[in-house]
C-alpha cells in the first residue's frame, strides 16, 4: 500500500503542474480574447466618435448656414421695408401734387367762369351802348 500510495502522489505531482499550465494557458487565452474584444470595442467606439464628430460638424455648418441665411433674409427685409417706405413717401408726394393740381384746376375753372361772365357782361354792355348810339344817331338824323 505504501508503494502504490507513493505512485499516486507522484502522478498527482506530475499532473498538477500540467493542469496548472493548462489552466494558465486557458486563462491567457481568455485574457487574449477579452483583450481582442476590448480592442474591437475600442475601434468601434473610435468609429462612432468619428461619426458623431462628422455629424456635429455637419450640424455646426448647417447652423452657420442658417445664421447666414437669416442675416441675408433680415437684410432683404430691411431693404424691402426701406423701399416700401420710399414708395409710400413718393406716393404721398404724388398725392399732395395731385391735390394741388386738382385745386389749381378748380381755381382755373372758377376764373374761366368769372372771365366768361365778365365777357358776357361786356358784350351786353357793348350791345346796349350800340343801341344807345344808334338811337342817338337816329335822333340826330331826324333833326
pLDDT digits (tens, 9 = 90+) for 58-111: 999 999 999 999 999 999 999 999 999 999 999 999 999 999 999 999 999 999
Which pTM value belongs to this model? Answer: 0.49
Query: And the C-alpha cell for 13?
Result: 505531482
Per-residue pLDDT at 14: 59
Per-residue pLDDT at 44: 97
The number of CA neighbours under 13 Å toward the Cβ of 75 is 6
pLDDT digits (tens, 9 = 90+) for 7-44: 555 555 556 778 888 999 999 999 999 999 999 999 99
Query: In degrees to the nearest 10, what's the CA dihedral of 81, 86, 89, 94?
Result: -130
- CA angle, 67 as apex, 63 and 72 as ends, to 5°? 145
Amino acid at each position: 500500500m505504501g508503494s502504490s500510495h507513493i505512485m499516486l502522489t507522484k502522478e498527482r505531482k506530475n499532473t498538477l503542474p500540467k493542469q496548472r499550465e493548462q489552466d494558465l494557458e486557458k486563462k491567457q487565452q481568455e485574457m487574449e480574447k477579452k483583450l481582442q474584444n476590448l480592442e474591437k470595442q475600442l475601434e468601434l467606439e473610435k468609429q462612432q466618435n468619428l461619426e458623431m464628430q462628422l455629424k456635429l460638424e455637419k450640424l455646426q455648418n448647417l447652423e452657420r448656414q442658417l445664421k447666414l441665411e437669416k442675416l441675408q433674409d433680415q437684410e432683404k427685409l430691411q431693404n424691402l421695408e426701406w423701399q416700401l417706405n420710399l414708395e409710400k413717401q413718393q406716393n404721398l408726394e404724388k398725392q399732395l401734387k395731385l391735390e394741388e393740381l386738382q385745386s389749381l384746376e378748380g381755381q382755373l375753372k372758377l376764373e374761366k367762369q368769372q372771365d366768361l361772365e365778365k365777357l358776357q357782361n361786356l358784350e351786353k354792355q357793348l350791345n346796349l351802348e350800340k343801341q344807345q348810339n344808334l338811337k342817338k344817331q337816329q335822333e340826330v338824323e331826324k333833326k
